[in-house]
């Protein structure tokens, strides 16, 4: 299975800036001896830029996606973007349950699970984020927190569980420059893999990404872990060189 390297631009970008970033990435890929041989790539942009990404990336090896999706199918939900709309713009992915959404927008495990289900129903692959806070890690709750977060999604999407992507993002490692060591990350990934395996015999097919200050320097050792199948990249996805370095580290 190829590694999956997904950029999460968060609330960054502009029409001009995105175009130059994406063109530099595509030029870098074209110039590489064997373009991204072991990695599938994707970029998740703010919703308003999805049409732009579709135009820039449609004939390229990079897929695109959204950073959130509505828990509702359609209707009177001002400001929301439905999964079907993402599909209209050929999004392959939608991040759901990012810790910034859980933290600043009060998203619960149930909301995240419903969003994952909406995405799947529309043919968009949800990238379901789980992860513990620093306090939770320090009080020995890491395993129970990530298991609870994933259980809600497994329970809701049922047999479709092999169609999701999981991202383990320790909250204390996001945007802080503090990365989980490869061993720390692997330990949690193994827990998540076992949980998926209890729900499906095809759990090995599910990509479990690591996210949290992944960069060109630490990507190779993280991606070498047996249960780390890729990365969800925030800050480093805003720089073409860094993003491509991570992609090149995938083996
Ligand atoms: P970071 O963000 O790479 O900037 O730590 C990762 C994420 O939040 O998805």
- 3-248 is a CATH 3.40.50.720 domain: no
pLDDT surpassing 80 at residue 83? yes
**Mean of the pLDDT values across residues 110-126?**
98
Question: Could you tell me whether strands 93-96 and 208-211 are parallel, antiparallel, or unpaired per DSSP bridges?
Answer: unpaired
Closest C-alpha among 184, 161, 180 to residue 232: 180
pLDDT given for residue 177 in this prediction: 87
Q: pLDDT tier at 179 (50, 70, 90 boundaries)?
A: confident
Give this prediction's pTM.
0.97
Counting from 1 in the atom list of ligand 1, the atom nearest the Cα of 215 is 3
Residue 169 Cβ inside 6 Å of ligand 1? The answer reads: yes
Residue 174 Cβ inside 6 Å of ligand 1? The answer reads: yes
Distance 246 CA to ligand 1 centre (A): 13
Q: What ranges do the domains of the chain cover?
A: 3-248
The answer to whether 189 is a known catalytic residue is no
Percent of the chain with pLDDT over 90: 93
**Mean of the pLDDT values across residues 191-200?**
96
**Mean of the pLDDT values across residues 205-224?**
96
C-alpha distance from residue 178 to each of 42, 134, 211, 215 (Å):
24, 11, 11, 11
pLDDT given for residue 172 in this prediction: 94
- In angstroms, the CA 230 to CA 65 distance is 16
**Mean of the pLDDT values across residues 207-232?**
97
pLDDT surpassing 70 at residue 229? yes
Percent of the chain with pLDDT over 70: 98
pLDDT given for residue 62 in this prediction: 97
**Mean of the pLDDT values across residues 122-145?**
97
Q: Give tens-digit pLDDT for 18-37.
A: 999 999 999 999 998 765 56
pLDDT given for residue 66 in this prediction: 98
Distance 146 CA to ligand 1 centre (A): 17
Q: Which residue has the higher pLDDT, 139 or 33?
A: 139
The answer to whether 98 is a known catalytic residue is yes
Tell me the average pLDDT of the chain: 96
**What is the three-state SS of the chain?**
CCEEEEEECCCCCCHHHHHHHHHHHHHHHHHCCCCCCCEEEEEEECHHHHHHHHHHHCCCCEEEEECCCCCCCCCCCCCCCCHHHHHHCCCCEEEECCHHHHHHCCCCHHHHHHHHHHHHHHCCEEEEEECCCHHHHHCCCHHHHHHHHHHHHHHHHHHHHHHCEEEECCHHHCCCCCCCCHHHHHHHHHHHHHHHHHHCCCHHHCCEEEECCCCCCCHHHHHCCCCCCEEEECHHHHCHHHHHHHHHCCC
Distance 233 CA to ligand 1 centre (A): 5
User: Do residues 56 and 22 make contact, with C-beta atoms less than 8 angstroms apart?
Assistant: yes
Residue 125 Cβ inside 6 Å of ligand 1? The answer reads: no
Q: pLDDT tier at 251 (50, 70, 90 boundaries)?
A: confident
pLDDT given for residue 182 in this prediction: 96
Distance 232 CA to ligand 1 centre (A): 7
Distance 218 CA to ligand 1 centre (A): 14
Q: Among the options 98, 107, 132, 207, which is catalytic?
A: 98
Counting from 1 in the atom list of ligand 1, the atom nearest the Cα of 167 is 9
Residue 167 Cβ inside 6 Å of ligand 1? The answer reads: no
Counting from 1 in the atom list of ligand 1, the atom nearest the Cα of 236 is 3
Q: Among the options 100, 169, 189, 207, which is catalytic?
A: 169
Q: Give tens-digit pLDDT for 41-68.
A: 999 999 999 999 999 999 999 999 999 9
pLDDT given for residue 154 in this prediction: 97
């Amino acid at each position: 299975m190829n590694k999956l390297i997904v950029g999460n631009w968060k609330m960054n970008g502009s029409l001009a800036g995105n175009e130059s970033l994406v063109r530099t990435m595509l030029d870098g890929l074209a110039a590489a001896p064997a373009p991204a041989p072991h990695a599938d790539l994707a970029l998740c942009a703010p919703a308003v830029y999805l049409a732009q990404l579709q135009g820039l990336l449609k004939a390229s090896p990079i897929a695109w996606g959204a950073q959130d999706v509505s828990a509702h199918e359609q209707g009177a939900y001002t400001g929301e973007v439905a999964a079907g709309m993402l599909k209209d713009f050929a999004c392959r992915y939608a991040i759901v349950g990012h810790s910034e959404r859980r933290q600043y927008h009060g998203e619960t495990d149930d909301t995240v699970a419903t969003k994952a289900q909406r995405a799947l129903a529309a043919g968009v692959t949800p990238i379901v984020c789980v992860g513990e806070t620093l306090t939770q890690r320090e009080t020995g709750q890491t395993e129970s927190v990530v298991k609870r977060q994933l259980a809600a999604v497994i329970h809701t999407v049922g047999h479709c569980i092999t169609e999701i992507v999981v991202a383990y993002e320790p909250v204390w490692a996001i945007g802080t420059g503090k990365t989980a060591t490869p061993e720390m990350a692997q330990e949690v990934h193994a827990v998540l893999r076992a949980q998926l395996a209890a729900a499906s015999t095809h759990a090995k097919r599910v990509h479990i990404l690591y996210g949290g200050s992944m960069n060109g320097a630490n990507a190779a050792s993280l991606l070498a872990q047996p249960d780390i199948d890729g990365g969800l990249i925030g800050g480093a996805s805003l720089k073409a060189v860094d993003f491509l370095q991570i992609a090149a580290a995938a083996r």
